[in-house]
Amino acid sequence: MRVLITGGAGFIGSHLAEALLSRGDEVLILDDLSTGSLENIRHLKNVPKLNYWIDSVMNKSLLAELVDECDLVVHLAAAVGVRLIVESPVRTIETNIKGTELVLEAARKKKKMVFIASTSEVYGKSTHFPFREEDDLVLGSTDKGRWSYAASKALDEFLALAYWKERQLPVVIARFFNTIGPRQTGQYGMVVPNFVRQALEGKPITVFGTGKQSRCFCYVGDTVAGVLKLLDAPESIGQVFNIGSSEEISIEDLAMLIKTKLNSDSPITYVPYDQAYEAGFEDMPRRVPSTAKIERHIGWYRSTSLDTTIDLIAEYFKQRQKPLPYSFTAKPQTSYPQLENTDAVA
């Protein structure tokens, strides 16, 4: 099978590419490197079945050519991270909505299946826990730029399902809940890599807000396993699925857990949202998924604990700090045994 991954040089995209190659599929990557990095796929560059293009999904002619060459499309290209969303709302909206529309239209012409990566953010300010796929979405006011990401991804879902219902384009949608693991950058506000890096460097571990807000973090290998199962399940077409962990932890407790696990002397400091992002910034106090639907439909279960995932992320940062050649042999950080040295250079 030939799979096109938009955003394939990103955090999740690179792990998905690795998994697909491991099982013998051919992978085409399209990424403009706005938030992705060639370092994420450097260890795959000599794999014969990998091809990549450094360009945008906005390049309609190239996109059409790549869609024509593939059997299915995994659309991961999107604006990511709270900081980027707050600082660049126009880019967020345009990238998410226009990019998805172009992918769906190109795929429609060739009747190619499309996997759409959505987000737990679409649940907005809902207080109906755990979040279920059929729940109402409760978004904040339009004068709060923070909600532009959630609104744009919700529109992506509406558009994808419309293509399925009206134009018979096979689509599958997954809402990711705080996927974490090696290769994730804290550059755009991702909390776990930031905490791990700060703890390892002995810098203050900065908790935004009160720290009482809670999240459920899912190891990227588990997320990728869920994506692969959905791609291989015809009954998933035309449906929306949550992919995430039900292991809930407050951000304050997360900071303490990381500090303790890494034997760090870093102090834990608190930064008000107004200083971290913008005046009037709103956040969700809880974000907890129900995974009953994906468990029922394809038998997917999250299997990697938060403790283990933190260890893998810490080891990844430690390896990056060492001045080692690219030929260095490191223990793979993922569950894709056919590929060796998977994180030595990522």
Interval 265-298: pLDDT, tens: 999 999 998 898 877 888 899 999 999 999 999 9
Q: Is residue 79 within 8 Å of 61, Cβ to Cβ?
A: no
Q: Distance between CA 246 and CA 289 in Å, rounded?
A: 6
Q: Is the pLDDT of residue 186 over 80?
A: no
- pLDDT reading at 86 higher than 50: yes
Two structure tokens written together for 63: 């996109």
More confident residue, 305 or 346: 305
Residue the block writes with tokens 């869609």: 67
> Residue 82 — very low, low, confident or very high, per pLDDT cuts 50/70/90?
low
Average pLDDT of the residues in 253-268: 98
pLDDT recorded at residue 188:
63
Q: What CATH architecture is 2-321?
A: 3-Layer(aba) Sandwich (3.40)
Per-residue pLDDT at 95: 85
DSSP lists the bridge partners of residue 117 as 174
pLDDT of residue 255 exceeding 90, the answer is yes
Average pLDDT of every residue of the chain: 90
Please determine, for residue 25, whether its predicted confidence score (pLDDT) is greater than 60: yes
**pTM of the predicted structure, to 2 decimals:** 0.91
Between strands 248-250 and 214-216, the pairing is antiparallel
Average pLDDT over residues 153-181: 97
pLDDT of 341 over the 80 cut: no
pLDDT at residue number 327: 29
On the question of pLDDT at 178 being above 60, the answer is: yes
**Does residue 139 have a pLDDT over 60?**
yes
Tell me how far apart the alpha carbons of residues 332 and 43 are, in angstroms, rounded to a whole number.
11
pLDDT of 328 reads 26
163 catalytically annotated: no
Question: Region 323-333: what's the mean pLDDT?
Answer: 33
pLDDT at 331 over 50: no
Q: What percent of the chain has pLDDT over 70?
A: 90
Would you place residue 322 in the very low, low, confident or very high pLDDT band (cuts 50, 70, 90)? low
Whether 113 has a pLDDT exceeding 50, the answer reads: yes
Q: Is the pLDDT of residue 9 over 80?
A: yes
The whole-number pLDDT of residue 103 equals 98
Residue 320 vs residue 205, higher pLDDT: 205
Structure tokens at 54: 């450094």
170, pLDDT greater than 70: yes
Spatial separation of the C-alpha atoms in residues 285 and 324, rounded to whole Å: 42
- Scanning the chain, the segments in alpha helix (DSSP H) are 11-22, 60-69, 82-87, 89-110, 148-167, 191-201, 220-231, 251-261, 273-276, 292-298, 306-321
pLDDT at 120 over 80: yes
Catalytic residue (one of 52, 149, 163, 188) = 149
pLDDT at 81: 62
pLDDT(8) > 60: yes
